[in-house]
Amino acid sequence: MKRALSQDDLKRMVGYKAVDDYVKSGTVIGLGTGSTAAHAVDRVGEKLKSGELKDIIAIPTSIRTKEQAEKLGIPLSTLDLHSDLDVAIDGADEVDPQLNLVKGGGGALFREKIVELCAKKFIVIVDESKICDGLGPGFPIPVEIVPFCHEHTMREISKLPALQGCVPVLRLGNIANNTPDGDKPAITDNGNYIVDLKFKTPIKDPVAAGQQLKATVGVVDHGLFAGMTTVCIVAGKEGVYIKEKKVL
């Protein structure tokens, strides 16, 4: 009898497929952060070691990913030296029918966004559990804010029209997940705090929500990645498939 695929098996399948289909020798690539993206990083390292890939330059989106890539011998650089990327590969916490995303469950949303906006192609890799009808209720929206007067910033966020009904919760303990597992604020790679916005109903307009957050003084960036996805590769029980953007 065939063993049922675990969630980690599914994550590995999409991570490997993204690298096999979209990473070519002689390119500059963005390496994402999180449990699914880690499989893509492993695959890049594997293919460099075997000689199947050559002359790759990678830009990591977090200290965690940088350390993983270094162990695998993947040549690294920064956006300061290479700000024109051929492709970036990363996971997501939620994907809506328009391929808008929630990212930042792992606390690296600012570095992920700045790198992925520089890529000609942004390949999103998820297992089926991340597919949703609307962003918000299934996974809190992470927002990176400066520590100075953070309670004031949280209050200002809760007043934004496009985020009506949200409850901002300061992330405590480990930055890499949104479960409170400590009593001190979680600190990002940039020295900031993360606020997770909890919703009971889907955000009606993710673009407006993102614009209003970005215009709030004290907000560094947010986990709404709207209109950025080139391709979304999904692993489900029936195998791996490409999720098409729903035409409105």
Hey, which residues are catalytic here? 112
Structure tokens at 19: 């690298």
End-to-end CA distance of the chain: 43
Q: Count of CB atoms within 10 A of residue 157's CB?
A: 22
Neighbouring CB atoms inside 10 A of 159's CB total 11
Distance CA 131, CA 235 (A): 11
Write out 12-41 in H/E/C secondary structure: HHHHHHHHHHHCCCCCEEEECCCCCHHHHH
Helix orientation angle between 37-50 and 63-71, rounded to the nearest 10 degrees: 30
